[in-house]
Structures are given as C-alpha cells and as structure tokens.
Structure 1
Amino acid sequence: MIDPRVLREEPDRVRTAQTRRGLSSSPVDDALAADEARRRAIADYEARRAEQKSLGKQVAKAQGDEKAELLARTRALAAEVKGLEAAQGAAEQAWRDAVLAIPNLAHPDIPAGGEEQFALLETRGDKPEFDFTPRDHVELGAMLGAIDVERGAKVSGSRFYYLTGVGAELELALVSMAMDQARETGFTPMIPPSLVKPRAMEGTGFLGQAADDVYRIEGQDLYLVGTSEVPLAAYHSDEILDGERLPLRYAAFSPCFRKEAGSHGKDTRGIFRTHWFDKVEMFVFTTLDQAEAEHARLLEHEKTFMDKLELHYRVIDVAAGDLGLSATRKYDCEAWLPSQERFRELTSTSNCTDFQTRRLDTRARYAEGIGPVATLNGTLCSTNRPIIALLETHQQADGSVRVPKALQPYLGGREVLEPR
C-alpha cells in the first residue's frame, strides 16, 4: 500500500507513476474521493458520539419530565450513532480498497512503457559458439535421462515434468550451491510453508493484478504460493522490529506454483514455463534509506551466481509497465538460450520499499520512534530455468554437457554429464 500522505499531499506524483506504468490515473481520483468520504464519516461519527456522551451526563442530573425528554433524545441519538458508526466502517473499507488498488510508485529513474522498453545495464559472460547444430534442453534432457516431460504430462497434465537421474542431481546441486552462497553472504536459511492465508497473499500484492495466476485450495482459506517471497514477507507481519537489527536477510528454498494464466501457447515445449518449480529466494527487511543500496547488493548476489554457472547473460532495468504491483524497481538477469537464440529471464530482484509492510503492518522501532520498513526480494536460483541454460550453454556435439567448475563439487566432482 502506498503512503496515504503521499496520495493526499502529492497526488500528481502518484498520477505520473500510474501513467508511466501505462495505467489510468482514475484510481488516484477514486482513492482521494474515498479518503475525503472517510474523513467526513469519521468527523460525523465523532461529533454525534461526543453529543451522546454529553447527553448521558445531562440525564444523570435531570429529574422528572426533563429526564424523560432527555432519555427519549438519548435513544434516538443512540440509533443515529450506530448508523454513523456503520457508515464510518464502510467508508474506511472503501478507502482501503481504493488505496490497495494503486500499485507502488514506479521509480523515477526507470524507463516508462511496457516489456520491450527495458534499459540494458550490462552484458556478461562469453556467448556460446558451436560447430554443430545445438540441441534444445528437451532433447538434451532425454539423452541424459534428466528430464521427462511426457510422463509429467501423463501424471499431472501440461506444464509438469519429472527430473530424473542426473536432472534431479542437478537441481539438488544448484539448490545446495545457492544456499551455500546465501549463507556465506549473511542470509539466514529458511524453509517456509508453501500454503498461506489470504492476508499473506494480499499483503504481498498477489491477490491484485496477479490473482488469476494463483492456486487456491478449494474448501479452505489457503493459497499455494508462487514464490517464497509471500511467506517471507508475512513472517514479520503485525510485528514491530528492532531497528538496530536491520537489515534482516533470509534465503528460502521452497516449491512454487503458478497457473501461468495468460501464457496459453507460450513456451509450451520443455520446462521453461511450468506450473511448478523449486526456487531459492532472497528476502530482506531494511530501512527505507538503505533499500536502494540493498537492491544493488541483491543484484550482485544474482550476478555472482550466474557467473558461477558460466552463462552468457544480460542485466536489464525493467520498464515501469512490466513491474509487479509491489515493486518500485526491478532488475532481471536474462540468460542466452542457444536453442531460442534470445535472452530469457532466469532471475529478478525487486525493491518494494514499504508497500508490502504497510499492508502487513510490519514496522520498526528506531531511536526517533516507530517507523516504516522496506522489503526487497531476489531470486538466487529458480531451478528449472538454470537447468535449461546449463544444458544448452555447455552442451557438446555428442550430447554430453560440460559442468561449470563451481558446480562440480556439488556433483561429486563430475566434469561432464554423459548421455545414457
């Protein structure tokens, strides 16, 4: 949720942010009108409540006909106060709904526009060159006995898969390497629940524009998470943190579930866009003034991991129209996939400022008093996509795949994965 003071005192700034995302500014006007109605309802209720209290004192002192008259007025006023209290509650809810509909303010330094209007920050690693026609990850996975999409579809439906043999070993190796890196750089390892209550989903912004992509458990008030960002953000909900202990850095391993709504016909081959995958996610609680510096650090952690995998990739500053609801800025690391001859997203990191913590009521106690907390998230390793990039980048003519040096200790020292 954006800061209500910014909405009230700088509405044009909020309208500009909406426009840069390619969105209408009407939600800003709706929220301002709802705020005015809310404050008016509060004032009406409090005025009548004060009158009710004053009348009660008069009744206590009155006698005879005067007391009877005052009692009659008290009963009438009580009904009016009750109605005004209900009106105040409705106005509060209407205001909250209106404010929740406004996404975080896009950072002024990022490009406006949609998916293709990103800014290229840098390109790293050597682009793979082959003296043979490179295979895609599906063919390589079959040759290695690593990926079985046919049986995944048979058992669970489209966009599911099995990792078998060396494929399963690859995932465990990637997760172990990611968790080791996270721990060595000051993150507390976590394994969070993959089912959360609605408030956690709403608080992180996943019941807004992303609601169609979320799996809900029928008959229960629970959702399957699409990222461990959700339970990590809610971990300190309704808490006042010790400002002296910030930043708090967590790294979580969890399965993730997504409907992939709106992706019909996209990336249907293989395991790039699936309904389930595993992921190591970094998450940080910090002060607002340190959020941008922490964002840069998360990006460096992601680049370090990509470098360990010896991939050719680029780093982009995502355009405002391609941001999620909660992010003010997002960086993506996109790896080169030889079979597609283009860069595809492997990791991303977002600065959510105090947008999520306002929704989840997470604050901190500082020397100057209680104040806001910023949250940031970053994917260190989403296991299905790094497996794709590894197989395709390091493939050899006979279908074998070279193992990057940093990953070899996690695969028992193997330097090459051989076809079956």
Structure 2
Amino acid sequence: MKYFKHTLPNGMGILLQRVSSPVAHVGVFIRSGTANEPVRLQGLAHFTEHALFKGTHRRNSFEILSSIESVGGEMNAYTSKEETCYYASFLKEYLGQAFEVFSDILFDSVFPEEEIAKEKQVVLDELESYQDNPAEQIFDDFESLLFGKHPLGRQILGRRKDILAITSKDLLEYVSQNYQPQRMLISCVGNFEPEEVVRQAGVYFGHINGSAETIPLSVPPAEKPFLQSKKKANHQAHVVTGTMVGSPLNQAYYPLNLLNHYIGGPMMMSRLNLAVREKYGLTYIIESNLSFYSNSGVFNIYFGTDVAHVDKVLSIIREEIQRIRENKLSSTELDVLKRQYTGLAAIGWEINQNRMLGAGKKTILGGYAETFDEMKECIFNLTAEQLQDAAIQWLNPDQFSTLIFTP
C-alpha cells in the first residue's frame, strides 16, 4: 500500500501507511541535526533531544514520560547529523494523546536550569560510555576525518567542553530557529483513516507558525585519501576503511545498496566473510556499511583483528573490491543476491516501527518513501552492468581512506 501524503497549511508534512494492527507508531521528524548546530556548541542538537523531556509549562519530566507509558506505550528519540526524531508506539486509540504530548514538548519546553545541569552529567556519561567502545567510536572518528571541516564531520554526541557550556538560552534559541513546521514531518504507520490523522494533526500542530525554510547543506568536498592510526586501550585492532559515495537521489542508489549487501552484508556468504573469516580465519567480524545523507553518502568496511593481521586483511579487501570492479556478476550470482536482499528487506518490513522510521527519514531528507513492492521492483530490474558501473564509479580502492585503532 502506498503512503498517504499531506501538508498542513503551516507547511508541516504528514506521511501515513495504513496497516491492520492495534498498535500505532508515530514519529515527528525535524530537518535539523548535528550539521545545523553552531560550531561553538557541538553536541547541542543531541542535548536538545534529551532536554525536551525535562519539562514544559504544563508538565514536569515525570509527567512527560508517564503521559505515554501510563497507557502502555513507549516513547523515545534520536539525533543524527541531519535530522532529529521523537517517536512513540501505543494503542491506536491514543493517537490524539500522543500528538498532544509531542506538541507540548516540541513547542512549549522551558528547559529548567536545574534539570539541564543534571542532564549534562547524563550526556557526559553517554559520551564516555561511547568512547569506551572502540567498535562504535571508530565510525564517528572515521567520518570526522573523511568530511573534515564540513558540518557532516561533526560528531553527534559533541565535545565535553561544549556540552558543559550549554545554557537554557542556547536551547531555546536552537529550538526557535530549527523546530519550525516547514522543517517537520509526522510519520505514521497504523490503522488510521487519513482524514483522522490530518484532523488530529491540525488540532495539535496546525496552530504553530514559522518561516524557517530548510537551507540545504553544501556538497562535501572530496578529501584526499588518508591512512591514520590511533592508540587505544584495546586488545585487538579495530579498522574502518572506505570512501564517499554519491547522493541517495542519484541512479547508483540501488546498485550501491545491492553491492554493499554482496560485499559485506549480514549473510555469512558475503564476499568478505568468505574471503577473510572462512578462508583465512583472520577475524571474527567483518562487515560493510552504506549510509546516506541528503547530498552524499559513505561506504565503509569494518573489521577487528590482531594487529599483526591488519595489512593482510586490507590487502584481501582491496583484491575483492577490485575483482568486483573488473568482473560482472553471473546471472546466477545476481539472482541469488536479489533474492537475499529483498528477503531480508521483507523481514525488516514486518517491523512497523522500522517502517515508520525509515519512511520518515527518507522523506524528511528529500527522498521518496517507497513501498516494499516498489523497492523490490527496482532491485529486480538491476543488471550486472549497472552494479559493475557503480563499483567502478564509486568503489575505487585507490580512493579508500583508512582509520586504525591499535592496542
């Protein structure tokens, strides 16, 4: 079933896919994230996400959480580099209650100083916990090096000194400038009539006015490939190697997704798992990842191994990527790959919350939220030549950058 789309008079978007379920999933997306915060306060977007749960003119922090949890629902949020999302899952009869709570925290938060002071310690603990996990931190450090001074190079959790410097005034200014209806989208997956969602959204969000249009990010400049090593208190080496790829709006979007699955996707029969783990036993985990922003993307490969094996694994990766660039997949390989990719996607599609979040993210960043059948058709229409062309254009091992965390 296709998504129903609507725009309120104030510019706020609505995206709905109707499903037969007693549980609804709703997210309010804001086209503002780490890339939109002031350079002097890195981490402000993420801290705002935390602070919005700390009190409004009508509710304290406990009352905000209990407003959804008291009816058996769940409420959460996340911040990324280009968007922030506040979302909830609940029985569908509480749609109006969920909308009211979202409207209250998004547009009427007061950011009490005593709560902000406590939350700084929470966020600093989150930052330190993240820094204690090299298998996670290395991805952020890699993108900071890859994007350099471009806004996409900022890390979501921010810097300790900036977090400590954040004030209630900073939070109010950030929300006032960025949480504008023209930059917001309500994404819903649930058993609702479209007219009911539009009506309720109008009641709770229609009165909000704003004039801040989205200012597109500049295209990140192509950085020279780097090879950097950092000492960490690890037992093994952690490595990320990869490169920038094109916008999610270009014709290589689906070929790159299929290539990513083939090279290092979640299946045990991925090329890198077979070549590095099964053949040589050099690593427990090796995976490739593909992430897109509004006008760029990143393809990377992660592995952990004994420091003595790093060069060997990097050499195998190079050989495998080059083989894909030089040789087209056979018709049998391509057919199996398509079935794998769409089969796993179908399993993920069964999780309605994931569907709501994925469609909302694509739409808020200017993309198209396709249905499963539309995605499947695009995948099965791909040719071996298209995959090879995408590999030649975007996956050049000579242009790969590498970051190594060594013991």
TM-score bracket, shorter-length normalisation: under 0.3
Larger-Rg structure: 1
The alignment's TM-score, normalised by the length of structure 1, stands at 0.23
The alignment's TM-score, normalised by the length of structure 2, stands at 0.23
